Homo-oligomer: A and B are copies of this chain.
Amino acid sequence: MPTEQPADLHLASTHPLGPDASVAAFPLGGIGTGNVSIGARGDFRDWELQNSPGKGNLLPFTFCAIDVRPADGAADEAVTKVLEARFPGPHEGEDGYGWGRVAGLPRFASAEMLGRYPLLAIDFADDRVPVRPSLEAFTPLVPLDPAESGLPTAVLRYRVHNPTDRAQQVTLALSLASPVGMDGWRHNGFPTYPTAPSVDYREADGIRGLTFTAAGPTDAFGYGTATLTTLHDDVSVKPQWLAGHWSDGVQAFWNDLTDDGRLEAETKESYDDQPPTGGARIGSLALHRTLAPGETGDFEFVLSWHVPNRHRAWDAGGELYDQVVLNHYATRFTDAWAVAGHVHEHLPVLEASTRGFTDALFDSTLPAEVIDAAAASLSVARSTTCFMIDNGTPEGQFLAWEGSFDRDGSCLGTCTHVWNYAQTLAYVFPSLERSARRNEFLTETDEGGRMHFRSQRVFGGSKPWDFAHPAVDGQLGTVLRMYREWRFSGDDQFLTDLWPKVAEAVDFAFGYWDPDGDLILESVQHNTYDIEFYGPNPLGSVMFYGALRAAAGMAEKVGDQDRAKRYADAASTGAKAMDELLYNGEFYVQKLDDVDAYRYQFGIGVLSDQLLGQFLAHLAGLGHLLDQDHVRSAIKAVYDHNFRSDLSEHVSVQRTYALNDEAGLILCSWPDGGRPKLPFVYSDEVWTGIEYQVAAHLIFEGFVDEGLTLTRAVRQRFTGRNRNPWNEAECGNHYARSMASWALIIACSGFDWDAGTRRLAFAPVVGDQEQPFRTLFTTGTAQGRVTITGESAELTVDHGSLDVAELVINNRSFIPDDQGPVPAGRTVRFTAA
């Protein structure tokens, strides 16, 4: 088995990043809460708490300072620094580093960041500082639990070790400009506040800290609160910095901190006659602790926020834009202080779940690149791309953009043809995918079965998203995903509720895309390349056969035997016909007499997505839709023709996601000539979502080496130097399609879970066969891990409860030592039958 790592493989989750990883930004924040990120220097960046993306958003004078002085020493032995590594440059700027960046304060000589999402760790080092500080930061992530994974909070735990032989008095002082109440962001990254927010010190129930409150009515879109809290006993505080001219506030803060390592409240608001009414308000909270020689101590802050009010629309064009709809989290919590209370109270449990999940993933024997890719994909689910609104149910309504532009969402409506690729939610937060399916079939599928591929009526308006064509891949892929959700959850009521509309959507396909009834789709086929394919081609038809198989399975379950048979027959007949028509002996092509008769076709090119429907069918346990040998040949052809180990001489006039000596898989190539004059508009691009689906599919078909090589190629592009490891962009940051990477775990571990039969299966294809194989897994009710060692296996449940009727490993049944449902924390041993 081919999983030896190349020596030069440096992944962000395995090799610490230095401050020169200038675009690394590790996102904190939960599902549907917005984010604040931490850079490789330990700096706060990309403040996005206000229900909108905000890449580049900075808060002025927001930094953690450390003050260290020997407990028995003189004042001049004190050292005070900003707890960030130095700026790596470029230092260019219209006014250098302007006010608010505090770039002129001394910083640490170096920092090393290791991001194993959702856990961030940064070690700081500086010869002039006698102690060794580090930062551990995370937002709780509880698998299968979007609510507890959707807390608007970030735990910031600074840990300081005293290696000296003297007791050291250590202060961690976190200064924060109000992260709520702004109405815009300037060119330099800093916010504008129409009216200054208030900031106050508060102490209750052992929780103490700062509360920021935006001015204005609580039902305004910009309203919100934020808190910086701690359970730490020994604190000092400067609840509000001097406001007013120039650098008065920061100079007074620094004078105060360096004077004795403790903070005092200012005695006036400003030295000016007229304190400003607008502008930032900054507060500082300092935690103190004396560390004995050799001692290590924690300094824990919790940042929480609560910006409840969203527009009831995707954007200003929406019907109900002027109405407020609550963030789902705002139905649980009244304000940020309430969030903080929940976090402080439940942090041990939340953290244990987070670590259980993270350990199961990162301590697995899966290839490092697979772990790296899959873990990073979790951050998409908790980025500004995804959100949850109040829909009157306890669960709320899940919604998503395709991605996030720097300052706006990108492409509205949980777009079916983009979300086709995404697997992470289906396995880690499956209830969110069910939420999407409910909406797609019950709200966005018209009478007659046409599905709008962007959800607009989900906000409550009456107008669907208006576009000339339905999306063939989106609509049919959604049927496959419906099957995936039902099979994984075993939620038969979910199936029963949606089935009539699922059947309509499938029936629609026959008439609309196959007017000649030959079961090969040939009419205008809008698709994920934002153009229309014409004539027979594998993208639409393979997805059709997958949808038919899935629908046949669901029809059988609901007792619609007619449809079950009709669909199954059509899948077989159609697949055979398509195979005959489009297979060219190596891969599947598009059949067009004149490839230039329409713009944006691909003709006899090798389309990387030609087997996308087959990929989804594998994930759903549906097996091969087409001749297995042809499928294997075709996916291998995709790799052979479209994977480039060096893109320096690649020619593309399109958007560029990989270049120079980077490797990547292009969307299409024409090894036999026949390139259209104007091929489809993304044909020469490289998209991580397609790379992952192809990589996983290669592994499904036995091309493990190729699949892992391709996966490594992707993640080597995301190492913090050139791209953020936690942001795979396509049309927008944190692009949903990139969540195809979770399929790599499924493919590598040969995982399958059928909730109906409670059959759990593994068939690992990676790792050293002489060594135990370990992987994380999820089912509809549990997250666990399994260790497989030849004839035996150990299965541990980290979260939830698992009731397995049959464990199958490499097609052999395994017998448990102990029967019955396995609760969280329990390990059960299995032996080969």
Contacts and interface: CB of A to CB of B under 8 A. Distances in A.
Interface of A: 22-23, 55, 86-87, 89-99, 101-106, 109, 128, 187, 245-248, 250-252, 254-255, 271, 403-407, 410, 599-600, 648-657, 659-660, 677-678, 681, 684-685, 717, 721-724, 727, 729-733
A650 B649 CA distance: 47
Contacts of A655: 95-99, 104
Contacts of A648: 86, 106, 109
Contact of A94 (B93, B721, B729): B729
A561 to B, nearest CB: 46
29 contacts: A55-B94, A86-B659, A87-B660, A89-B722, A91-B657, A91-B723, A94-B403, A94-B405, A94-B406, A94-B732, A95-B405, A95-B410, A95-B655, A95-B729, A95-B730, A96-B657, A96-B685, A97-B655, A102-B653, A103-B656, A103-B659, A104-B652, A105-B653, A106-B649, A106-B650, A106-B651, A187-B407, A251-B678, A255-B677
Contacts of A732: 94-95
B95 A247 contact: no
Given A599-B271, A653-B102, A654-B247, A721 B90 contact: yes
In order of increasing CB-CB distance, the 6 nearest A-B pairs are A104-B652, A103-B656, A96-B657, A97-B656, A89-B722, A104-B656
Contacts of A600: 246
A750 B141 CA distance: 71
A71 to B, nearest CB: 23
A648 B727 CA distance: 32
A406 B96 CA distance: 12
Contacts of A252: 677-678
Contacts of A128: 649
A681 B246 contact: yes
A167 to B, nearest CB: 24
Contacts of A22: 90
Contact of A731 (B55, B95, B101, B245): B95
A103 B647 CA distance: 11
Contacts of A653: 102, 104-105, 247, 250-251, 254
Nearest to A250: B653
A255 B652 CA distance: 11
A245 B660 CA distance: 27
Copies in the complex: 2
Nearest to A727: B92
Most B C-beta atoms less than 10 A away, residue of A92, A98, A250: A92
A104 B650 contact: yes
Contacts of A403: 94
A533 to B, nearest CB: 15
B651 A104 contact: yes
A55 B188 CA distance: 13
B94 A247 contact: no
Contacts of A102: 653
Given A92-B729, A94-B733, A251-B677, 5 more contacts: A89-B721, A95-B655, A98-B655, A104-B656, A187-B407
Contacts of A599: 245, 248, 271
A92 B722 contact: yes
A681 B653 CA distance: 50
Nearest to A258: B651
B254 A722 contact: no
A687 to B, nearest CB: 9
A685 to B, nearest CB: 8
Contacts of A55: 94
Most B C-beta atoms less than 10 A away, residue of A93, A677, A721, A727: A93
A723 B649 contact: no
A733 to B, nearest CB: 5
A92 B678 contact: no
A723 B92 contact: yes
Nearest to A404: B94
A327 to B, nearest CB: 23
Contacts of A656: 91, 96-97, 101, 103-104
A684 B250 CA distance: 13
A639 B681 CA distance: 61
A247 B682 CA distance: 9
Nearest to A724: B92
Contact of A684 (B104, B406, B681, B717): B104
Nearest to A735: B95
Nearest to A248: B678
A246 B683 CA distance: 12
A802 to B, nearest CB: 40
Contacts of A722: 89-92
A252 B104 CA distance: 51
Contacts of A86: 648, 659-660
Nearest to A681: B246
Nearest to A648: B106
A727 B652 CA distance: 34
A13 to B, nearest CB: 18
A254 B650 CA distance: 13
A544 to B, nearest CB: 27
Nearest to A599: B271
A77 to B, nearest CB: 15
A685 B98 CA distance: 11
Contacts of A95: 405, 410, 655, 729-732
Contact of A652 (B23, B105, B187, B723): B105
B733 A91 contact: no
Contacts of A187: 406-407
Nearest to A99: B655
B247 A659 contact: no
A600 B246 CA distance: 10
A727 B91 CA distance: 12
A92 B720 CA distance: 9
A157 B684 CA distance: 32
Nearest to A271: B599
A403 B96 CA distance: 12
A94 to B, nearest CB: 5
Contacts of A99: 654-655
A3 to B, nearest CB: 28
A724 B94 CA distance: 11
Contacts of A717: 91
Nearest to A720: B90
Nearest to A126: B648
Contacts of A731: 95
Contacts of A245: 599, 681
B729 A651 contact: no
A484 B722 CA distance: 51
A190 to B, nearest CB: 13
Contacts of A407: 187
A656 B92 CA distance: 10
A655 B96 CA distance: 7
Contacts of A660: 86-87
Contacts of A87: 659-660
Contacts of A92: 23, 722-724, 727, 729
Contacts of A729: 92-96
Contacts of A23: 90, 92
Nearest to A406: B94
A541 B601 CA distance: 78
